[in-house]
Chain A
């Protein structure tokens, strides 16, 4: 589980599931992939800090579709290697 200090305050605080995907990322590639998958699954998406080491996002929607989003992003686009996923719900 990710430490709460990692989560960006710019992301939605309520009714959102927050993820931190970490590994070796191409930030813009990961962003495009996450946006595409969220649109496909009709989920709300807010993208937080992105770097070559991690991507922080918050999504809103039905839990099974949030799970599908997590699965898709844990595989990621072909140029990103996701080594760990931390998930937390808003308090």
Chain B
């Protein structure tokens, strides 16, 4: 099983907590204050509260409900209502593999997951697009977007959900995650570095995929 892209690294600040869905399972994605990203089962073992409502303190994620504190390994380390209690090792949140590569956070629910994508070197984050269509429809719309120089785009697939998109002089990495029948996220970075004007122009060009999908829907 492959790791799937869930966020741009730049969109997950230190101390940030968010909910994601991978392989039909709800996970909490969070970054500790040392900058390391973690993906866990989105459920506090105490009362089932979503940990994605929790908060980060240093290297731990704390449940919003009763403040149970979990260290980087998912082990409960402190129960505020019983500060003297030695917390059993059995109170632990399952954790999953996380890799950051090409400016993107990749997660899997399988312990032996791998990532086919080689490190492309420095990248510039552009944007994540979340679209209410299938992966195939989203990719087709992206590839068909008119480019500023009318030269068209060139798609070079890495696998079914990842590829490089050449747009004029720019080469983008597009990593897709289909989390449901009509729910897909496209995480896009630019290979190499770029000035602000180029980043803005490419980001706006990418956002036009929404309009093209809406137009296609109206036409249908």
- State whether these chains interact: yes
A91 within 8 A of B: no
Interface window among A9-17, A21-29, A60-68:
A60-68
A53 within 8 A of B: no
Count residues of chain B with CB under 8 A from any CB of chain A. Answer: 11
A86 within 8 A of B: no
B12 to chain A: closest CB distance in Å? 29
**Which residues of the partner chain B approach A42 to less than 8 Å between Cβ atoms?**
88-91
Query: A69 to B145, alpha carbons, bound, how many Å?
Result: 58
**Which residues of the partner chain B approach A40 to less than 8 Å between Cβ atoms?**
45, 90-91
Q: Among B45, B81, B82, B86, which residue has the most Cβ atoms of chain A within 10 A?
A: B82
- Quick one: closest B residue to A39, CB to CB? B90
A41 within 8 A of B: yes
- Quick one: closest A residue to B92, CB to CB? A40
Main secondary structure of the interface of A (DSSP, over half): helix
- Quick one: closest A residue to B81, CB to CB? A64
B48 to chain A: closest CB distance in Å? 10
- Quick one: closest B residue to A61, CB to CB? B88
Cβ < 8 Å to A, chain B residues 31-78: 45-46
Query: A33 to B79, alpha carbons, bound, how many Å?
Result: 22
B85 within 8 A of A: yes
- Quick one: closest B residue to A75, CB to CB? B47
Cβ < 8 Å to B, chain A residues 47-91: 62, 64-65, 68
The interface of chain A, by Cβ under 8 A from chain B, is 39-42, 62, 64-65, 68
